Chain A
Amino acid sequence: MLSWLRILALVRKEFLAILKDPKSRFVVIGPPLIQLVVFGYAATFDLNDVSFAVYNQDRGSYSRDLVSAFDGSPTFNKVAVLNADREIAPRVESREVLLVLRIGPRFTDELLKGEPAKVQVIIDGRNSNTAMIALNYARTIIRDFNDRVLAERGAAGAPAELIVRAWYNPNLESRWFIVPGIVGLLTLVVTLLVTALSVAREREQGTFDQLLVTPLRPVEILIGKATPGFLIGLSEAAVVISVALLWFEVPFRSTVLTLYTGLVLFLLSAVGVGLMISSLSVTQQQGLLGAFLFMVPAIILSGFATPIANMPQAVQAVTLVNPLRYFMVILRSTFLEGASFEALIPQFWPMAVIGLTSMALAGWLFRHRMY
């Protein structure tokens, strides 16, 4: 028989302990807010303000048109006009420009004669991802330019055309991808910080012994310790979700029930892992380090920033025990894809399993942790 009176006493005390101390209040409120702002704005793969230089050896009108097409694009920003080949390398090397547009002397002539003209795009590949995206942007501009030239000539153009449609995110805004991910990230960080120190702190201060000699059962301690982390994680997640919807204007296309079912199960697993780390640690320091050592791989291997599919098979297998992996899928499916409840069941149950297993282990460790 569980005693709700005793559990309630513990829950009350945990809340007081977390919220009365200004330092731990800050830990719960400060870092999430900072991360929300920083991640929301800084973590984006979209490029704007790509600085480029032009080396135009041609004096004709076509080359001027092409350059002004680049100039007119919101993505590109011309910072230099070059007059010689040897000026290219220093500009790229020093990272002054990401991209150089090099137009040969016969560009307009060739186009007027209907011969194939070439334009060289030199890109700094040190950050290959940025390079690829910038190259894609450049190609798009040149394709549009081609279409215009062909239309002028009244030519037939290519026999087949590629019509690109991106579902769920037609403008391919990477913020729509990142911001729902932040919900998962912050929920994990807050829940872990609240729970990973809770048992360790009491062990260090000696109050855990005091708890164990009271009539509280391990299950009751477990519930008492899990509830505050759960509730704080839930409210924090609710705030971040609203910010994602209202401030960052990410669409939401599924039912609230589906999202919150996922959230509750994810919280269950995060709280379980946090409590397990906490009951394994003897000092707060170990708890903190443990949380950190779980958090970093959990975030990296969650598909938050880079797709799990790009990882080697062995690493992909490891991600199966990462609760954040499943929650990431749920978040993006509910926000953007409008997935149904049934479609997400394969994501729901692994989190429930992780949560229950880690909780059971934490409860067992309360009494069996050796000193």
Chain B
Amino acid sequence: MTSARAVPAVRFSEVHKSFAARGKETKALNGVSFAAESGSVTGLVGPDGAGKTTLMRLAAGLLAPDRGEIHVLEMNATGDALAVQAALGYMPQRFGLYEDLTVQENLDLYADLQGVPADQREGSYRELMRMTGLGEFTARLAGRLSGGMKQKLGLACTLVRSPRALILDEPTVGVDPVSRRELWAIIDRLVRDEGLTVLLSTAYLDEAERCSRVVLLHEGEVLGEGSPDSFSSQLRGRTYRLQSGEPGRQVQSRLQGRAEVTDVVVAGGQVRLVLESGSDPRGLREEGVFQPVPPRFEDSFVALLRERRGAPSLPDMQQHTIEVRGDDAVITVRDLTRRFGDFYAVKGLSFSVHRGEVFGLLGANGAGKSTTFRMLCGLLPPSGGTLRVAGVDLRHAAAEARARIGYMSQKFSLYGILSVEQNLDFFARSYGLRRKRRDERIRWALEQFELEALRGSSSDDLSLGHKQRLAMACALMHEPDILFLDEPTSGVDPLARREFWLRINALAEANVTVMVTTHFMEEAEYCDRLAIMAAGEILELGTPDEIKGSVAPQGREPSLEEAFIALIEHQDTER
């Protein structure tokens, strides 16, 4: 199939696309050109709002470009949309499944729609079921499947009539690491055995390294295109691991401001650095021992973004320092259980969090993290067990007890119609802040979270990164002692995530207790301690190092994700 390789399966040339909403025009794609080669995996990488979904829909003929040309399998995706769609498999976000139909019925529907002859179905179904491991569940409603199973069923539905190319829009969002790995195995096999062309989008930067080519998209523009290695090789010689006696978070906060540092993240209790090109680690000798490490794809992404946006400013959280009295547990949970019907969302959870600690709850969607959170904040009564936050059960506590906590919910819950300033003002007032104090805090929030220029815009119109900042500012208006953050970084770009963690660092310095959930495994590195959850239970509890150690006590140090997968597989074999 060498001849097929010569012609790219998907080709965009100078594609522009904008949308009009509320009388304002938003540019989704701004002169995008790239090519995806036949018989390989091309990854479209970028944060939310980069234009990935628009691009995929354009390729599938679901949208028409304003300008530019799109060719898919040598057909014009705009003019010949029907022909393109007949040759294409497309899986939208959320997989396009009918949740009130069973697995088999979903397959039958798509087979009907794709015009698969009845005599070919038997064999095709058998093959798909074997590949996805869904054979046992054909009679189950799609809505009752786990995220990973839904994703595999969605894939199977697009494969019922062996398409020539596959377009997958964020196939791994909200799926646990084990399922993600299985999906990649399926994709790799399809490409290897059947020479399928795959174009997929992802917000997980580590997945980019599994693609043969990567297109890096940011704010509707292509920042770079090439093999993952070609990205990271640009940074060769600039990435180091720093060993220092101090806790990683403090080192990170200190180094982030330095001119010669492009990026610094906490990893394994130490920090990992990307230096500016031409800088020498010897200039930072006093910090500790520098050890060169191989560059990763994420490093190059962050470096590319930094070039455009400049260095971050260090946060001044203006938090009064809270006194720590020995070993006082701020949050204690004993045998916490929550049942919905006969389904256990949370089963026998026990842990405690100390003052000034950053405590992480890690797990895939549906692991029970949010349910636990809602119970801790008093939003949901537990079915069993006890819990104490700052010595009280918030569900029955007086209003004053609630004034000590801050809560930022999953979807950055803001009043969309209100402006940035009105949101801040409302939360300040509802925490009972008096006029002078209120004005002070609003000024602080606008300045610290760099929202000054946006103070009058509706929060609905903000980008996801700005929404996240505003939501955090709202949760901090009253300087809480304890902060609950539910998936605070989902969907925002790597730079915004770094800024976020710098702010958390600063709060932790002032002994604010922070409890955070996330499904980004690498973020767990920032936590003092963390609990890994799956199916409502805690699999492992400890410092990041302890957790890694529990999986692979000897040999190479595993990443947290690997540890997570090992833990889940271990649990599965025990059953």
Q: Which residues of A contact B (CB under 8 A)?
A: 3, 5-6, 8-10, 12-13, 16-17, 20-21, 205-207, 209-217, 367, 371
Contact = CB atoms under 8 A, between A and B. Distances in A.
B413 interface: yes
B415 A371 contact: no
B281 to A, nearest CB: 45
B380 A371 contact: yes
B52 to A, nearest CB: 24
Contact of A205 (B374, B413, B484): B413
B406 to A, nearest CB: 8
A90 B422 CA distance: 69
B417 A215 contact: no
Interface in B402-430: 402-403, 405, 407, 409-411, 413-418, 422, 425-427, 429-430
Contacts of B417: 16-17, 20-21
A50 to B, nearest CB: 51
B418 A17 contact: yes
- Chain B CB count within 10 A is highest, among A9, A10, A17, A213, for A213
A206 B418 contact: no
**Max chain B Cβ within 10 angstroms of own Cβ: one of A20, A207, A211, A367:** A207
Specify the main secondary structure of chain B where it touches its partner: loop
A210 B429 contact: no
B379 interface: yes
A142 B405 CA distance: 83
A209 B413 contact: yes
Interface in B423-445: 425-427, 429-432, 434
B342 interface: no
Interface in B358-406: 374, 377-380, 394-395, 399-400, 402-403, 405
A213 B415 contact: no
Contacts of A6: 429-430, 432
A291 B485 CA distance: 35
A216 B422 CA distance: 18
A16 B418 contact: yes
B379 A209 contact: yes
A215 B400 contact: yes
A8 B429 CA distance: 8
Contacts of A212: 377-379
A209 B377 contact: yes
B429 A205 contact: no
Contact of B379 (A12, A13, A213): A213
A151 to B, nearest CB: 74
B414 A207 contact: yes
Contacts of B418: 13, 16-17, 20
A284 to B, nearest CB: 13
Given A5-B432, A16-B422, A215 B379 contact: no
A9 B430 contact: yes
A215 B409 contact: no
Contacts of B429: 5-6, 8-9, 12
Contacts of A217: 399
A93 B415 CA distance: 59
B432 A215 contact: yes
A10 B417 CA distance: 14
15 contacts: A9-B426, A9-B429, A9-B430, A16-B418, A16-B422, A17-B415, A20-B417, A205-B416, A206-B409, A207-B415, A210-B407, A210-B474, A214-B403, A215-B431, A367-B395
A215 B430 contact: yes
Contact of A214 (B380, B416, B430, B458): B430
A367 B399 CA distance: 14
Looking at A17, A20, A21, A209, which has the most chain B CB atoms within 10 Å of its CB? A209
A206 B410 contact: yes
Contacts of A216: 399, 430
B409 A214 contact: no
Contacts of A206: 409-411, 413
A13 B411 contact: no
- 4 nearest interchain CB pairs? A9-B429, A206-B413, A215-B399, A213-B407
Nearest to A216: B430
Contacts of B403: 214-215
Given A213-B377, A215-B402, A13 B415 contact: yes
B28 to A, nearest CB: 24
Contacts of B399: 3, 215-217
Contacts of A205: 411, 413, 416
B462 to A, nearest CB: 14
Given A210-B407, A216-B430, 13 more contacts: A9-B430, A10-B426, A10-B430, A13-B418, A17-B418, A205-B413, A206-B409, A207-B415, A209-B377, A210-B474, A213-B394, A215-B402, A367-B395
B427 A214 contact: yes
A328 to B, nearest CB: 35
A209 B431 contact: no
A214 to B, nearest CB: 5
Nearest to A212: B379
Contacts of B411: 205-206
Contacts of B422: 13, 16
Interface string B233-273: 00000000000000000000000000000000000000000
Nearest to B397: A215
A209 B409 contact: yes
Nearest to A367: B395
